């Protein structure tokens, strides 16, 4: 958990020019503390949990934490894309084989009222990979950049993988000012 915050700071520094660090409303930084991340990780719910979404003026910036349990190889290889939001992962613990791009079939749009669309990643699709363009093992300390529109998923996770995701939202499809309910308790 202690490695998450420095990694997150590096990700934000890479993603945004220094002038963009000031938020639309004021000139203070937003802190996503290790304690807040742990509260969201520990809260009941799905594997993709938005922590905060900040209005950065010209764009919004979401910070989320994701945890995937074990995935055995050999099953159907499914993935998701986010048509308007790029994701940057910083892997905190565990490992897995990430598959991206390539040919997909059985494309199904996410429902407009699905929480993934309204709060987490904006519009997107689920699909089955016919042939991924890339398959690569990732593990703690790795950073992955997934451009908007690129299908991605895991073909194998031996035990678990946990990662922080930073989501630049240039089209402002995510709700600025969002704070995970676990942090409001």
d(CA 35, CA 107): 38
Overall number of domains in the chain: 1
- Segments forming the whole domain that contains residue 45: 4-183
- List Cβ neighbours of 102 (8 Å cut-off, separation of 6 or more): 129, 130, 131, 132, 133, 134, 151
pLDDT value of position 184: 85
pLDDT at res. 14: 44
As a whole number of Å, the CA-based R_g of the chain is 16
Q: Whole-angstrom Cα distance, residue 13 to residue 15? A: 6
What pTM was estimated for this model as a whole? 0.84
Please answer whether residues 175 and 46 qualify as being in contact, where contact means their C-beta atoms are separated by less than 8 angstroms: no
pLDDT in tens, 92-104: 999 999 999 999 9
Average of per-residue pLDDT values in the chain: 88
Sequence length of the chain is: 185
Residue pair 124/116 in contact by the 8 Å Cβ criterion: yes
Q: Which percentage of the chain shows pLDDT scores above 70?
A: 85
What is the CATH classification number for the domain harbouring 122? 2.60.120.10
């Amino acid at each position: 958990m202690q490695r998450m915050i420095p990694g997150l700071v590096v990700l934000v520094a890479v993603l945004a020019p220094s002038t963009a660090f000031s938020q639309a409303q004021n000139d203070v930084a937003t802190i996503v503390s290790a304690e807040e991340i742990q509260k969201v990780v520990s809260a009941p719910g799905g594997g993709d949990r938005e922590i905060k979404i900040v209005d950065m003026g010209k764009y919004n910036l979401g910070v989320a934490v994701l945890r995937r349990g074990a995935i055995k190889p050999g099953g159907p290889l499914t993935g998701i894309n986010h048509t308007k939001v790029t994701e940057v992962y910083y892997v905190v613990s565990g490992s897995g084989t990430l598959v991206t791009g390539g040919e997909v079939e059985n494309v199904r749009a996410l429902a407009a009222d699905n929480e993934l669309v309204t709060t987490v990643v904006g519009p997107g699709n689920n699909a089955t990979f016919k042939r991924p363009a890339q398959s690569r093992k990732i593990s703690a300390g790795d950073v992955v950049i997934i451009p908007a529109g690129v299908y991605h998923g895991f073909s194998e996770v031996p035990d678990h993988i946990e990662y922080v995701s930073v989501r630049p939202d240039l089209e402002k499809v995510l709700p600025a000012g969002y704070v995970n309910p676990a942090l409001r308790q």
